[in-house]
DNA sequence: ATTTAATTGAAATGATCATTTCAAAATTAA
DNA sequence: TTAATTTTGAAATGATCATTTCAATTAAAT
């Protein structure tokens, strides 16, 4: 019976994520992927189909990674104010660790490919909707608890915060000044109280 | 004596801008540029040097266009509150007109190339600094006139507003709902009053 | 041990990439 | 008109692109 997949799929996806995040989709060649994954060219095609195939798996992998880190930190939070802060804290940490200015893969591919590849378009659109819905839930709870004001609906605040997160990721590509970025986050959250 | 340049350089740069904005730097080929500019391949190399050469001219062209539309609208404004609103209004208009979800060339190339091409890195960095300085000037005047509060320095508000602009451009790629985006802008500006 | 089917390596495919080359055509000042 | 010089067209360059091919190798199940 068949030989089974020997390589560590997660390890391969991690390496592929790094190179796609660094060079972008169009800037990354199959040769780049062969080099960084230490996988045979045939094995890549065998396991992922085509370049867009491995990219879509990378997108899911990257998104799951973010979801997990959110989940892990959010269950530790005692109130909704902390929950929102944690989301920005994770983003800030990710920015400060991003030494080679790669930026966020989801933001990058939204700007590079959303208008070119329908499958990427629907992926990032769905992902954005989920993210906004998650924030809206938190705001909703916070408003019920009178922690956040009700001048705007939870939905409106969610769009505002999601937009701020994307802005933060863009600004954070070139600006790694922690003090400035922390103050920026405080200013973003000011409207909620 | 020499034959002079016959083609309309601005027209060529406009066409080149459109294709770079739509497909990105790595997604645009010299053949694409030949096709959209109706210029000979040799003429492109003769006039712009190389692909990165024409791209850098496109960046300047695009940036000048934005600067001019800002200048044109800003001289009409009577107070600093309007000045800030005008900046967001121009951005909003640009988003709503962007039917094919190209996004902003400066945002796109920050995410695609700032970490790969030093010359692009320094261009967008300088451009960001100037934009933030311009916003800071407006905030400064507004604070002196007691139109904006002084809970944060003009510099801190400028970074916040610039980040919000970038976030708005990212959100505006997939979300073209004018009502939602207008409310979003109002929320962004809330902190100033 | 033999069968079975996937993995692997390495080479080949043919398209497309950015860039160069160069002779012919075009244009302008003298 | 002639001389000067650039634009133009079209082909060639050689590298790199994504993808395919296929024989050899590998590993599990019988």
Q: Which residue of B has its CA nearest to A20?
A: B112
Q: Which domains does chain B have, with CATH numbers?
A: 1-61 (1.10.10.60), 77-193 (1.10.357.10)
pLDDT, tens only, A97-134: 999 999 999 999 999 999 999 999 999 999 999 999 99
Rounded to a whole number of angstroms, the distance from the CA of A69 to the nearest CA of chain B is 22
Between chains, do B112 and A110 touch, taking CB under 8 Å as contact?
A: no
Which one is predicted more confidently, A10 or B84? B84
Q: Give the whole-angstrom CA distance, residue A96 versus residue B117.
A: 21
Report whether pLDDT(B45) > 70: yes
B193 confidence band (pLDDT: 50, 70, 90):
very high
Helix residue ranges, H only, B24-147: 30-37, 41-48, 51-74, 80-97, 105-113, 118-144
Cα B64 to Cα A112: distance, rounded to the nearest angstrom = 23
pLDDT band at B4 (very low <50, low <70, confident <90, very high): low
Distance of CA B87 to CAs A174, B83, B136, B157, B170, Å? 22, 7, 13, 14, 16
H/E segment holding residue B149: none
A138-147, B72-81, B136-145: range with lowest mean pLDDT: B72-81
What does the pLDDT read at residue B123? 97
Q: How far from B82 is each of B55, B65, B75, B138, B171, CA to CA, in Å?
A: 34, 21, 11, 10, 23
* Across A1-10, A49-58, B15-24, B69-78, least confident range: A1-10
Which residue of chain A has the CA closest to B132?
Answer: A171
Average pLDDT over residues B165-189: 98
Q: What pLDDT does B143 receive?
A: 95
Task: Give the nearest partner residue to B168 out of A102, A115, A163, using CB atoms.
Answer: A163
CA dist A124 and B67 (Å) reads: 31
Residue B117 has pLDDT above 80, yes or no: yes
What confidence category does residue A136 fall into, taking pLDDT thresholds of 50, 70 and 90? very high
Is residue A1 scored above 80 in pLDDT? no
Instruction: Compute φ and ψ for B147, nearest 5 degrees.
Output: -80, -40
**Which residues of chain A does B107 touch, with a Cβ-Cβ cutoff of 8 Å?**
111, 170
Distance CA B193, CA B124 (A): 30
Question: What pLDDT score was predicted for residue B158?
Answer: 98
Residue B127 CA to D17 C1' — how many Å? 34
Whether residue A6 is predicted with pLDDT greater than 80 in this model: the reply is: no
Kindly list the residues from chain A whose CB atom is less than 8 angstroms away from the CB atom of residue B190. Answer: 191
- Looking up tokens 């080099």 gives A35
Greater pLDDT, B184 or B4: B184
Check whether B88 has a pLDDT greater than 60. Answer: yes
Q: What is the mean pLDDT of chain A?
A: 94
What pLDDT score was predicted for residue A60?
95
Residue B6 has pLDDT above 90, yes or no: no
Binning pLDDT at 50, 70 and 90, where does residue B2 land?
low
Mean pLDDT for B23-48 is 93
Taking contacts as CB-CB distances below 8 angstroms, the residues of chain B near A92 are none
Distance A16 CA to C12 C1' (A): 26
Statement: the CB of A42 is under 7 Å from strand D: yes
| CA dist., res. B26 & res. A25, Å (int) | 9
Listing DSSP states for chain A in one string gives -PPPP-S-HHHHHHHHHHHHHHH-TTT--HHHHHHHHT--HHHHHHHH-SHHHHHHHHHHHHHHHHHHHHHHHHTT-SSHHHHHHHHHHHHHHHHHH-TT----HHHHHHHHHTTT-HHHHHHHHHHHHHHHHHHHHHHHHHHHTTSS--SS-HHHHHHHHHHHHHHHHHHHHH---HHHHHHHHHHHHHTT-
Instruction: Assign A38 a pLDDT band (cuts: 50, 70, 90).
Output: confident
For residue B164, the distance in angstroms to the closest alpha carbon of chain A comes to 6
Q: How far is the CA of B26 from the C1' of D9 (A)?
A: 26
Closest nucleotide C1' to the C-alpha of B26: C17
Q: Are B181 and B175 in contact (CB under 8 A)?
A: yes
Q: What is the DSSP letter of B192?
A: T
What is the C-alpha to C-alpha distance for residues B172 and B93, in angstroms, rounded to an integer?
Answer: 10
The answer to whether residue B139 scores a pLDDT higher than 80 is yes
Q: Which residues of B touch A127 (CB under 8 A)?
A: none
Contact A81, A147 (CB under 8 A): yes
How far is the C-alpha of B56 from the C-alpha of B13, rounded, in Å? 10
């Amino acid at each position: 019976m068949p030989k089974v997949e020997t390589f560590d799929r997660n390890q391969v996806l991690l390496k592929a994520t790094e190179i796609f995040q660094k060079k972008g989709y169009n800037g990354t060649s199959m040769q780049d992927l062969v080099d960084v994954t230490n996988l045979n060219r045939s094995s890549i095609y065998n396991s992922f189909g085509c370049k867009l195939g491995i990219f879509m798996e990378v997108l899911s992998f990257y998104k799951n990674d973010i979801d997990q880190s959110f989940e892990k930190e959010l269950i530790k939070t005692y109130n909704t104010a902390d929950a929102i802060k944690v989301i920005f804290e994770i983003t800030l940490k990710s920015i400060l660790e991003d030494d080679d200015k790669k930026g966020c893969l989801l933001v990058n591919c939204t700007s590079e490919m959303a208008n070119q590849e329908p499958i990427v378009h629907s992926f990032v659109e769905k992902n954005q909707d989920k993210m906004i819905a998650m924030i809206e839930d938190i705001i909703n709870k916070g408003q019920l608890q009178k922690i956040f004001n009700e001048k705007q609906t939870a939905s409106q605040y969610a769009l505002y915060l999601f937009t701020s997160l994307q802005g933060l990721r863009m600004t954070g590509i070139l600006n790694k000044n922690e003090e400035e970025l922390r103050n920026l986050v405080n200013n973003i959250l000011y409207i909620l109280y």
